[in-house]
Amino acid sequence: MQELPPLGVDKDMPILRKNRLSTGIRELDIILEGGYQNPSNMLLMGPTGMEKNALAFHFLGDGLKSKKDAILVLLIDGAPQSLKDKSSSIGIDLTDENIFFIDCYSSTLGMPVPDATKQLIYVPGPSALEDMSVAIKEVINRTAGKKLRVVFYSLSSLMLYNPKESLVKFLQVVGGRLKNAEATTLFLVEEGVHDKQFLGMVEHGMDDKMTIHDKGGSFELELQSLGLSLPIKLGPNGISIV
């Protein structure tokens, strides 16, 4: 791909819209006219592996670099340290004390968990949707006035642990609340795990969808809103467009 100029060189460039948050990947930002729409709820689907996680890590890492945005991660599939270890493996440091974590995972291990802090809120498991909703509202109140970058890591576990109707209602309420708070939220979903009818109900409440396709060793990122698929590669420095 032809070398692209850094974003921000010309702030008046018409292709860079104001209602965007950077993806953390320069080439993808150009294609998306500045990044992910803000506010919005976006479904990010892909096979088991690091590719979709890496896209989320880039998004969070860019928010930490800018120092202008607030960061929230809902952890359903692992503890905070696990997320930090995975992100550091591709050169993205998520150890910043300014990240808010809602940990829905650690209490399910049956072991004592560390004390909660202002940046770390514990929820008693992935079925505790009401507690999760309250915790999200608390973070929204604490970060008022900032753009909020949110990642559900991952929505698949919530889909496995909760009745369909309850989860759809939860996503409607929480998704609306996050958009009203100027949040851009990525909901990570494992491909091939959920029945199509249920997944369709979840997709109906989203503003956009991205899908990573495994092409037998190579990968493509499908951008639904643009009707476009991009070849991507995961390397030691994360995702790149190839």
H or E element: which one contains 100?
strand 99-103
Provide the domain limits for residue 42: 21-190
What's this model's pTM, rounded to 2 decimal places? 0.91
Dihedral pair phi/psi, residue 28, rounded to 5°: -70, -35
Domain assignment of residue 228, yes or no? no
Please check whether residue 221 lies inside any domain of the structure.
no
Angle at 238 between CA 233 and CA 241, to 5 degrees: 40
Does residue 127 belong to any structural domain of this protein? yes
CATH number, position 141: 3.40.50.300
Count of structural domains within the chain: 1
- β-pairing, 228-235 with 219-223? antiparallel
Inside any domain, residue 113 = yes
Q: Is residue 110 part of a domain?
A: yes
What confidence tier does 42 reach under pLDDT thresholds 50, 70, 90?
very high
196-218, pLDDT tens digit by residue?
898 999 999 999 999 999 999 89
DSSP string, 146-191: SEEEEEEETHHHHHHHS-HHHHHHHHHHHHHHHHHTTEEEEEEEET
Check residues 15 and 164 and name the one with the higher pLDDT. 164
**Any domain includes 219:** no
| 196 belongs to a structural domain | no
pLDDT tens for each residue of 110-160: 777 888 888 999 999 999 999 999 999 999 999 999 999 999 999 999 999
Distance separating alpha carbons of residues 190 and 46, to the nearest angstrom: 6
CA separation for the pair 150, 39 (Å, rounded): 11
* 51 falls within a domain: yes
Query: CA dist 171 to 72, 79, 96, 105, 237, Å?
Result: 16, 22, 28, 19, 33
Distance of CA 26 to the CA centre of its chain: 17
State the pLDDT at residue 15.
Answer: 63
